[in-house]
């Protein structure tokens, strides 16, 4: 099984911008960043498609929905912890 290496978003952005500038070829950038040319093309496409979102005002509803999901997940974990502790203390339900 091939293991993929982690590449930070800042590096992906830099590579995609360099590709858009056109000062280096796709192959040169591929060698420089140690990734397949198709990967660079995907990064470029992602930047072109989603780059405008960076300048949009944050959507409060989406932020609240994410916060609710995070809190629900935390609540679920705490319920499991409580059940395990009750079981450990012999107070099973």
pLDDT of residue 54: 80
What is the residue-averaged pLDDT of the chain?
A: 90
SS3 4: coil
Summarize pLDDT for 15-38 with one digit per residue, the tens.
999 999 999 999 999 999 999 999
**Predicted pLDDT of residue 85:** 94
| Phi then psi dihedrals of residue 36, to 5 deg | -70, 145
How many other CB atoms are there within 10 angstroms of residue 4's CB atom?
A: 7
Alpha-carbon span 70 to 83, nearest angstrom:
20
């Amino acid at each position: 099984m091939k293991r993929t290496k982690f590449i930070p978003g800042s590096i992906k952005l830099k590579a995609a911008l360099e590709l858009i500038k056109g000062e280096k070829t796709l192959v040169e950038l591929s060698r420089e960043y140690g990734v397949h040319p198709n990967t660079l093309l995907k990064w470029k496409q992602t930047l072109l498609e989603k780059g405008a979102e960076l300048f949009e005002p944050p959507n409060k509803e989406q932020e609240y929905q994410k916060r609710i999901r995070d809190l629900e997940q935390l609540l679920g974990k705490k319920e499991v912890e409580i059940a395990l502790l009750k079981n450990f203390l012999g107070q099973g339900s």
